[in-house]
Structure formats: structure tokens, C-alpha cells
């Protein structure tokens, strides 16, 4: 069972060998081919296979080791050794001019166009002279021209193949770079989304807890029942923040299922009354109004609207010193419009990250966010418009299944 593995290892090493090793292997292979006429039994009327003839034959093979470094010089050396063999020694012939074909292939592959033309003319003259002195047969001439032309064609095809492989490798590298950039951009967008979520959760909860805690000591002396409500609101806000943080951290965990974090749904429009009530319990008077034909714009849009309202109310509690806040949600025929207006002194000297997050959340759904002074220049107003998703064209919709046709998994 180990032999195929070893054979694959040897093949892989041979294919991955360097150019010099490959040239040495080719020279040895050619040497083995040209040796065959010297070792097989020969007819009595054929020339003898002498050691001198074999030595000159080997002399034609040795230059192939340097064929990549000097292809033209190697071909000239092979032709010169072949002429020496042809004109000085009457030794065994070869079925094919192996060394000349390998050298001519290398010239076609590695040399420039002027060198290729000159060498081709010289080789053609050498073939004509050799055939003329040998048999002067048209059949032998055509065969020799064909094999050398095939060697030249294979050399040029090797150039084309290498260019194609380089283009494929360049394209693969470009695709890898593009994928890496896209992955980095996706990671940056995900980091920004997580930062917005963390900012909304922590900023809202901590702001409400600070306001309610500061109002607690005053309420203890003047209205104990209000102090108890403030402390209850602090506890509820803290627990809600912990639940949301545990949910987010559970989603970020790679093991997910073993984290023990609750898998509660994302906030939705149904949670806005509770959010308004918590802010009202420890801060300004907050009113909530819904107009239009209420419908579900989608879970993602509902979570976005919830977070925007949460951030807007957090800014009011932290900076505006407002007495009243009005939250209005309008379900229009083409868009969902949210307006949060207060009578305070504006956004104050915050970092502006909250307002930036509001704009980013709206833009993620193709919407817009406008912030600025409220009516008559008093207070502050946050207005967000998120268009309803357009219905898919009839041509892009999936066809309805025919009566009796089964759909789904397991059909």
C-alpha cells in the first residue's frame, strides 16, 4: 500500500525540480535514446558500432545540459558535432535527430524573433545538405522538415502556455487581493455596526441610570414614592442593559451554542412604548404617537427605528435638559417617517457619535436622517425617513408551483 504513495512523492519531486535538474534529466533521456542503435544487434552489412562513434554521439548530447542558458550556442554545437559524425565516421544512424530537435525546440521557446529566424534558416540548410548527402529522397526531406517544424511549433506553444499560466496566476492574485479587500471592508462595516450597538445600549442605559440616581436623593426627602420608582427604574434599566449586552456578546462568540447567552429577538417597534416609559420614569415627559396604517416594515428596519429612538432619547436625557419630548412614528404609503422633537437646548457638546450613528443606520436602509433645531428654533429635532422596499418586478418573481406540485426540502 506504500508503493503508490512513494511513486506520487517521486513524481511530485521530479515535477517540482529546478531547471538545471530538468535539463540534466532530458540530456540523460536523449542519451539513452541515442544509445539504442549501439546496443541492439545489427545486420552484417551495416556499419560497425565503434566506441569512437558512440563518443561523438555522446558529444552531441552533453551540450543539452546548458540549453536554457545559451540555446543558440547549444544548437550550433549540436549541429557541428552532427556534421563531424556525418563526415568523419560511418557509424550507426539514428531514427530521429533527437539532440537537434531538443535544441531547436529550446531556441523556438527562449530566443528572440531575429535569432529564431536566423537559426531556422541555418537549420533548414543543414537539413537540405544532410538529406542530399544521405539519400536525396523527397520522402526523407519532407519527414525531416515536418519533425523540425513540429519542434518549432511546440516551442512556440510552450511560450503561449507560459503566458497563459502567468495571466491566470495574475488573475488569481488579483481575485485574492479583491477578496481580501472585500473581507477587510466587511470587517470594518461589522466593527462599525457593533460599535453603534454598544454605544446605543451603554449610552442609553448609563444616561438613564445617572439621571435617575441624581434625582433619587432629592426625591427621598421630598417624595419617597418617587424615589422608590426611580430606584426601580435604575434596576430595570441595568437589567435590560445586561440582557442586551449578553445577547450581543453571545452572538460574537465563535462557539455560540455553549456561551449560555440568551437568544432573544432584536428590538422591534413593539418595544418602543416600554422604551418611552422607562425614559419618562426618570426624566422628561415623553409622548409616543403612531399614525398611518401600521404594518411591519421588516425586522431589520424595526430594529433600526428602535435604536434611533433610543439614541435620540439618550441625547435628550444627557444634553438637552428638556421638559418634554415628542416621539412620532408615521407609517406612510411610501416610507416610514420618525420624528423625535424636544424643547431643550439642543444636542449640547457631545462627541456627535450618536448623531453619526443615526445617519449611518438610516442610510443602511436607503433612508435619510435630518437633525437640527425644532419648531420656531427651539429645542432639537431628529427626523428620519426610511422608504419601503420596492416590490420585485413580475419577471423576477419565482413562478408559483403548479397544483399538486410539491415544494421544499425532501420533495
Q: For the chain, what is the largest distance between any 2 Cα atoms, rounded to a whole number of angstroms?
A: 134
pLDDT-derived band at 365, boundaries 50, 70, 90: confident
| 255 within 8 A of 296, measured Cβ to Cβ | no
% of the chain at pLDDT higher than 90: 10
Q: Is residue 367 part of a domain?
A: yes
DSSP reduced 3-state for 372:
strand
My answer on whether 196 and 322 are in the same domain is yes
Report if pTM > 0.85: no
- In which residue are the cell numbers 549540436 written? 78
User: What pLDDT score does 350 carry?
Assistant: 56
Q: Provide the pairing of β-strand 335-342 with 380-387.
A: antiparallel
User: What pLDDT score does 392 carry?
Assistant: 52
My answer on whether 272 and 202 are in the same domain is yes
My answer on whether 273 and 374 are in the same domain is yes
CATH number, residue 306: 3.30.565.10
User: What pLDDT score does 11 carry?
Assistant: 43
3-state helix, strand, coil split of the chain in percent (to 5) is 65, 10, 25
Q: Is residue 384 part of a domain?
A: yes
Q: Is residue 45 part of a domain?
A: yes
My answer on whether 101 and 193 are in the same domain is no
Work out how many domains the chain is built from and give that number.
Answer: 2
Q: pLDDT tens digits for 221-257?
A: 676 666 666 677 777 777 777 766 766 666 566 544 4
C-alpha span between 226 and 238 (Å, rounded): 18
My answer on whether 212 and 334 are in the same domain is yes
C-alpha span between 143 and 96 (Å, rounded): 10
> Helices (DSSP H) in 259-368: which residue ranges?
272-282, 299-315, 353-364
My answer on whether 235 and 297 are in the same domain is yes
- Write down which residue in 136, 168, 202 finishes a domain: 136
Domain span including residue 88: 3-136
Question: What would the grid cell of residue 227 be?
Answer: 424615589
User: What pLDDT score does 8 carry?
Assistant: 44
Q: Is residue 228 part of a domain?
A: yes
My answer on whether 100 and 189 are in the same domain is no
| 321 within 8 A of 344, measured Cβ to Cβ | yes
**Higher model confidence: residue 395 or residue 253?**
253
At 385, which helix (H) or strand (E)? strand 380-387
At 405, which helix (H) or strand (E)? none
pLDDT-derived band at 157, boundaries 50, 70, 90: very high
Q: Is residue 362 part of a domain?
A: yes
My answer on whether 212 and 96 are in the same domain is no
pLDDT-derived band at 219, boundaries 50, 70, 90: low
Q: Is residue 221 part of a domain?
A: yes
Q: Is the pLDDT of residue 4 over 60?
A: no
| 19 within 8 A of 53, measured Cβ to Cβ | no
Specify the range with the lowest mean pLDDT, choosing from 126-135, 271-280, 345-354: 345-354
Q: pLDDT tens digits for 301-330?
A: 888 898 899 888 888 887 777 888 999 999
**Higher model confidence: residue 151 or residue 139?**
151
User: What mean pLDDT value characterizes the chain?
Assistant: 77
Amino acid at each position: 500500500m506504500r508503493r503508490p504513495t512513494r511513486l506520487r512523492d517521486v513524481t511530485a519531486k521530479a515535477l517540482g525540480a529546478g531547471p538545471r535538474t530538468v535539463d540534466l534529466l532530458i540530456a540523460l533521456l536523449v542519451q539513452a535514446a541515442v544509445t539504442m542503435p549501439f546496443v541492439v544487434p545489427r545486420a552484417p552489412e551495416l556499419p560497425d558500432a565503434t566506441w569512437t562513434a558512440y563518443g561523438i554521439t555522446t558529444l552531441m548530447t552533453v551540450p543539452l545540459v546548458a540549453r536554457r542558458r545559451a540555446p543558440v550556442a547549444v544548437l550550433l554545437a549540436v549541429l557541428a558535432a552532427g556534421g563531424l559524425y556525418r563526415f568523419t565516421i560511418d557509424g550507426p544512424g539514428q531514427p530521429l535527430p533527437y539532440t537537434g530537435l531538443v535544441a531547436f525546440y529550446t531556441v523556438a521557446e527562449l530566443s528572440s524573433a531575429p535569432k529564431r529566424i536566423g537559426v531556422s534558416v541555418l537549420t533548414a540548410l543543414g537539413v537540405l545538405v544532410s538529406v542530399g548527402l544521405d539519400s536525396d529522397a523527397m520522402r526523407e526531406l519532407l519527414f525531416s522538415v515536418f519533425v523540425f517544424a513540429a519542434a518549432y511549433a511546440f516551442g512556440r506553444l510552450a511560450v503561449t502556455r507560459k503566458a497563459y499560466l502567468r495571466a491566470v496566476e495574475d488573475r488569481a492574485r488579483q481575485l485574492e487581493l479583491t477578496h481580501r479587500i472585500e473581507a477587510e471592508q466587511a470587517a470594518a462595516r461589522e466593527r462599525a455596526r457593533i460599535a453603534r450597538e454598544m454605544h446605543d445600549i451603554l449610552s442609553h442605559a448609563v444616561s438613564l441610570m445617572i439621571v435617575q440616581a441624581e434625582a433619587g436623593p432629592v426625591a427621598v426627602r421630598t417624595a419617597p414614592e418617587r424615589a422608590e420608582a426611580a430606584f426601580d427604574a435604575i434596576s430595570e434599566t441595568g437589567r435590560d442593559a445586561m440582557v442586551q449586552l449578553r445577547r450581543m456578546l453571545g452572538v460574537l462568540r465563535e462557539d455560540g451554542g455553549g456561551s449560555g447567552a440568551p437568544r432573544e429577538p432584536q428590538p422591534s417597534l413593539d418595544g418602543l412604548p416600554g422604551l418611552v416609559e422607562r425614559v419618562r420614569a426618570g426624566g422628561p415627559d415623553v409622548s409616543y404617537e403612531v399614525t398611518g396604517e401600521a404594518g411591519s416594515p421588516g425586522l431589520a428596519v424595526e430594529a433600526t427605528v428602535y435604536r434611533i429612538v433610543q439614541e435620540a432619547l439618550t441625547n435628550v436625557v444627557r444634553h438637552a435638559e428638556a421638559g418634554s419630548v415628542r416621539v412620532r412614528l408615521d407609517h406612510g404609503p411610501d416610507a416610514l417617517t420618525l420624528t423625535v422633537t424636544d424643547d431643550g437646548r439642543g444636542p449640547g457638546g457631545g462627541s456627535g457619535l450618536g448623531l453619526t450613528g443615526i445617519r449611518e443606520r438610516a442610510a443602511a436602509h436607503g433612508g435619510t436622517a435630518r437633525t437640527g433645531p425644532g419648531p420656531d428654533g427651539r429645542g432639537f429635532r431628529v427626523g428620519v425617513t426610511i422608504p419601503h422596499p420596492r416590490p420585485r418586478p413580475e419577471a423576477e418573481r419565482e413562478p408559483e408551483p403548479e397544483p399538486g406540485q410539491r415544494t421544499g426540502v425532501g420533495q
